[in-house]
Amino acid sequence: MAKRPADPADRSRTVYVYAVSTVAAMAGLLFGFDIAVINGAIIFLREQFRLSQFQTEVAVSALLVGCVFGASAAGWLSDRFGRRRTLGLAALLFALSSLGAALPRNLGEFSAARFAGGLAVGVASMLAPLYIAEVSPPSIRGRLVSLNQMAITTGILLSYFVNWRLSFLGPAGWRYMFAAAAVPSVLFLVAMFFVPESPRWLAETGQEAAALNVLTRVSGRARALIELREIKEVIAEESGTLGELLEPGFRKALVVAVSLAVLQQVTGVNTVLFYGSVIFREQTGNSSASGALGANVIIGTINFLATIIALWLIDRLGRRPLLMFSSGVMAACQIALGAAFLIQPPPPMLVLGAMLCCVAAFAVGLGPGVWVVLSEIFPTRIRGRAMSIATISLWVACVALTMTFLSLASAISITGAFWLYAVMCVINFLIVWRATPETKGKSLEEIEKLWKRPAA
């Protein structure tokens, strides 16, 4: 039997939704670049500003503190002004903060610029996956939301490569590392003028004709009418208050979301992404800054490739299998990494190998999977504010991890620190296994009704 030719209209709609999602995912690229660029720059910053251990943690964490405040404001801003305009504001902040971080004369000025960048990252981390989820058809929503994680890992890899290349400029090269983000920031700002507003936000604010136009462009007229009716039905049932999240069904959704968000961070992968160069240089005896930054490029490459695998798997296997696989493998890797530091001096290749496996496991599951779940499980009318709560929790956990890693390693040894992160991985596995529903292939309205079902 001959294969039925693909409908040109379907191809056009698919290309359109991929294009729109790719533009939104540029926020993820800037997010990834901004959080990871410190990994290479911190070596030179410590020398130029003569930073103590605590000051080093402050320099690394300044952006992450901004993330908490950015995520706090993102929900209200996006519910009030729309997803698209708020992402445009984040793009402007990205550009200004990258230039500000390149020009400081002391730690205070540097931290202030990084805090401003953190505001942009906090907004982008919450809104980019949310926006993509709200414009995507259910059949490919997981893959499209994972584009944001793909962009994050691309930004991380790009920052590692830029850091490595600029490290040959000498101690002043760190300034160019931060300034490099200004160009993609401006491109992102311009691109946001050419994408539509979220159809679910448009419907919620009474702009039903505009919402229908966007849904038609994404799904076709017949499916768009059905989706718009479903959205309106769900909105009519909602009070639109955060108190709604304390109702029995949604309360569980909030607990699951916050737990996944926090545990994604305290499983420890960001110690590798933020402090990898310091670990290589100070813990393995590799005194070459360029050599340590070169190892980061390898880690970033593996992170990037594993995320491509996640993009292919997340709508085939589902969210739960990938999250459980990721948590289990990461636990084993953190145990192995801790054991490697029991050997004196630690073998650099063993440390690098454990790091590579840990990052790969994170990138194929916890990295994209948590953001996909967070973007799916909340009610339409308060999705922005509700996801903001989960994202704030994620960034608070990230600040706690980053602000304590060097101190924790000093207090209980670097081996003890990585073994503690392994315990967090096991807890994450149990929460996914016991409490997290599978959302693969379901519309956002179907997922919402799933939480409302009475207990059997």
pLDDT value at residue 172: 81
Name the band, by pLDDT with cuts 50, 70 and 90, for residue 323: very high
pLDDT value at residue 358: 93
Rounded to whole angstroms, the Cα distance separating 421 from 426 reads 9
Name the band, by pLDDT with cuts 50, 70 and 90, for residue 455: very low
Name the band, by pLDDT with cuts 50, 70 and 90, for residue 2: very low
What does the pLDDT look like over 202-227, one tens digit per residue? 988 889 899 999 988 888 888 888 88
pLDDT of 191 over the 70 cut: yes
pLDDT of 188 over the 90 cut: yes
pLDDT value at residue 381: 64
Of 1-15, 254-268, 374-388, minimum mean pLDDT range: 1-15
Contact call for residues 127 and 87 (beta carbons, < 8 A) = yes
- More confidently predicted of 146 and 87: 87
pLDDT of 443 over the 80 cut: no
Rounded to whole angstroms, the Cα distance separating 396 from 255 reads 16
CATH, range 12-195+238-452: 1.20.1250.20
DSSP-assigned states of every residue in 215-262 = HHHHH-HHHHHHHHHHHHHHHHH---SGGGGGSHHHHHHHHHHHHHHH
Of 9-18, 95-104, 202-211, 298-307, minimum mean pLDDT range: 9-18
Name the band, by pLDDT with cuts 50, 70 and 90, for residue 263: very high
| Selection from 305, 323, 330, 360 nearest residue 440 by Cα | 323
Average pLDDT, the chain: 85
Mean pLDDT of 372-387: 74
Percentage of the chain lying above the pLDDT 70 cut: 90
Report domain extents, the chain: 12-195+238-452
